[in-house]
Amino acid sequence: MLNSKPENQNSKPYDLGKRTLKFAKRVVAYVNKLPKTVTGIEIGKQLMRSAGSVGANYIEAEEALSRKDFAMRIKISRKEAKESKYWLLLGEPVNDQQGERDALVQEATELTKIFGAIVEKSK
């Protein structure tokens, strides 16, 4: 696990389990504020699935039975982070949620890069 630095108010958590859980919880709060249109509901469902899957697969990777299993789960986490970014960009937030959407897109991008680096190092 990446726990090399203590967490403070201005830093991102180095514990990826906590970080991915926080990401998923923020996405849930964001989705709850999306417009209740057919499009908003469908995008929200897809976004919640992919965002939740990022952390769920990371937890599975931590319990992997082999290096191959570990790499596969990390790759799935990376894929789901990319998908989360896609759904975030596709949806139209209400005006006061634009900043949160941008922050979530940034977090999805960072998680994608982190998981990509883990995949490379695990080879």
* Segment 81-90, tens digit of pLDDT: 999 999 999 9
Residue 1 inside a domain? The answer is no
Residue 10 inside a domain? The answer is no
pLDDT at 123: 78
User: CATH number for the domain including 28?
Assistant: 1.20.1440.60
From 103, 19, 102, 106, select the one nearest 58 (Cα to Cα).
Answer: 19
Q: Looking at the predicted structure, is the pLDDT value of residue 2 above 90?
A: no
Domain that holds residue 60: 16-121
pLDDT at 12: 55
Q: What is the tens place of the pLDDT at every residue in 20-63?
A: 999 999 999 999 999 999 999 999 999 999 999 999 999 999 99
Q: Looking at the predicted structure, is the pLDDT value of residue 13 above 70?
A: no
pLDDT at 92: 86
CB 22 within 8 A of CB 7: no
Work out the angle between the directed axes of helices 16-32 and 67-90 (0-180°, nearest 10): 30
- Give the dihedral sign, CA 63/15/32/47: negative
Residue 7 inside a domain? The answer is no
Q: What is the pTM of this model?
A: 0.86
Phi first, then psi, for residue 56 (nearest 5°) are -60, -40
Residue 52 inside a domain? The answer is yes
The rounded percent of the chain whose pLDDT value lies above 90 is 82
Q: Rounded distance, CA 112 to CA 7, Å?
A: 21
Q: What is the mean pLDDT of the chain?
A: 90
Residue 99 inside a domain? The answer is yes
pLDDT band (50, 70, 90) for residue 95: confident
Residue 2 inside a domain? The answer is no
Total structural domains within the chain: 1
Q: Looking at the predicted structure, is the pLDDT value of residue 4 above 60?
A: no
